[in-house]
Amino acid sequence: MNYAALIQNRKSVREFQNKVVPFQLLEQVKTYYRKSARHLIPEIGTELYFFGTDAREALEGAAGYHKFLVGAPQYLVLLTGEHPQAYLNAGFLMEDMVLKLTDLGLDSCWVTFADSEQVKDALGIESELKIAAIVAFGYGVKTTRRLRLNIKSMSNIDIQAKRHYFEPKRSVSDLAHWGTWGSRDGLDKAIGFYDDMLWEALYAASLAPSYLNRQAYGFLLDTGSVTLVARPDDYSVPIDEALSLGIVLHHFTVTAENWAGKLSWSFEPESAQLPEGHRAIATAAI
Ligand SMILES: Cc1cc2nc3c(=O)[nH]c(=O)nc-3n(C[C@H](O)[C@H](O)[C@H](O)COP(=O)(O)O)c2cc1C
């Protein structure tokens, strides 16, 4: 898959056509999950379930921003085993599936949930594993009018159609820090040293979907290393925060691996000097 192109093409789609996703495409998604999907921590057990449009009614009230469920012809539901990095891994793996959907010409949107047992009951899932992530998908409505989510907070979201609306994202220079948190001195030189490839990885990270579009993270770079840092966020919910961190780690990793070779993340990063409330999540050598 051409990850860089897929990452640039993906956006959250919340309005779907009544068009059925062909059986052959669903089979391709299943095969991809079984054989090729990228895992962050392969030893964490996961299961992927597929649901049709009936799931919409079942999930009503159990999933979606302020219980507003994205109605779609299909849903992917990922389950995970227990592990300290279970949701980081789930975010990484499910984003890989989202980009596979994009590759197959399908549109999608992540869907939040609060209570694993409530979702399992609603969907009739019998498993020891816990619900980790939900994604709605299908063929988006083709229009220049886009469904705008004006996200103020979890309980204050306006949904309205607006022309050519693209949600603003944080820029590369806003996401990246050099040497110490908050410092950008030397960042341009460092990016130049990596022949703009580091910029591409950071750019891919800047396009990552995140819970409420909060992008509550940043990258602390230093000679030969990169650390993903979680920023404190008032709207943060632990599962969605960890999923968003896994997603951004995915975008950075798959793009950086084009030039840095396989990135090996350590999840017990040495405590870098960070401002209060910030947490180092993962470190890798580059
Ligand atoms: C963990 C997670 C949960 C999300 N839940 C919802 C949701 O319930 N409803 C929704 O409309 N969008 C949801 N989103 C999508 C985000 O709002 C979206 O990624 C963000 O606004 C940025 O827009 P983009 O994906 O088009 O780049 C979720 C995203 C993530 C990562």
Mutate to test the pocket of ligand 1, among 65, 67, 135 (most ligand atoms within 8 A of CB): 65
> How confident is the model over 190-205, as a mean pLDDT?
89
Q: Check pocket membership of 92 for ligand 1, CB cut-off 6 A.
A: no
Distance CA 123, CA 60 (A): 11
Mutate to test the pocket of ligand 1, among 77, 87, 115, 210 (most ligand atoms within 8 A of CB): 210
Judged against a pLDDT cut of 60, whether residue 166 lies above it is answered with no
Residue ranges covered by each domain of the chain: 3-138, 172-285
Confidence at residue 271, expressed as pLDDT on a 0 to 100 scale: 65
> How confident is the model over 231-239, as a mean pLDDT?
90
- Residue whose CA is closest, atom 18 of ligand 1? 209
Which range has the worst mean pLDDT, 18-32, 138-152, 232-246, 259-273? 138-152
> How confident is the model over 187-193, as a mean pLDDT?
85
Q: How does residue 193 score in pLDDT terms, banded at 50, 70 and 90?
A: confident
Same-fold call for 3-138 versus 172-285: yes
Confidence at residue 164, expressed as pLDDT on a 0 to 100 scale: 36
> How confident is the model over 151-169, as a mean pLDDT?
56
Judged against a pLDDT cut of 50, whether residue 78 lies above it is answered with yes
Q: Which CATH superfamily is domain 3-138 in?
A: NADH Oxidase (3.40.109.10)
129-159 tens-digit pLDDT: 999 999 999 999 976 555 555 565 666 665 5
Confidence at residue 167, expressed as pLDDT on a 0 to 100 scale: 57
> How confident is the model over 48-58, as a mean pLDDT?
94
Contacts of 203 (CB under 8 A, 6+ apart): 172, 255
Q: Percentage of the chain with pLDDT > 90?
A: 76
Query: Tokens representing 112?
Result: 């939040």
Q: Check pocket membership of 240 for ligand 1, CB cut-off 6 A.
A: yes
Spatial CA neighbour of 59 closest among 48, 70, 49, 50: 70
Spatial CA neighbour of 56 closest among 32, 43, 72: 72
Spatial CA neighbour of 131 closest among 49, 53, 206: 49
Q: Check pocket membership of 283 for ligand 1, CB cut-off 6 A.
A: no
> How confident is the model over 187-195, as a mean pLDDT?
84
Q: Check pocket membership of 209 for ligand 1, CB cut-off 6 A.
A: yes
> How confident is the model over 165-170, as a mean pLDDT?
66
Confidence at residue 162, expressed as pLDDT on a 0 to 100 scale: 43
Architecture of domain 172-285: 3-Layer(aba) Sandwich (3.40)
Distance CA 273, CA 284 (A): 17
Q: Check pocket membership of 227 for ligand 1, CB cut-off 6 A.
A: no
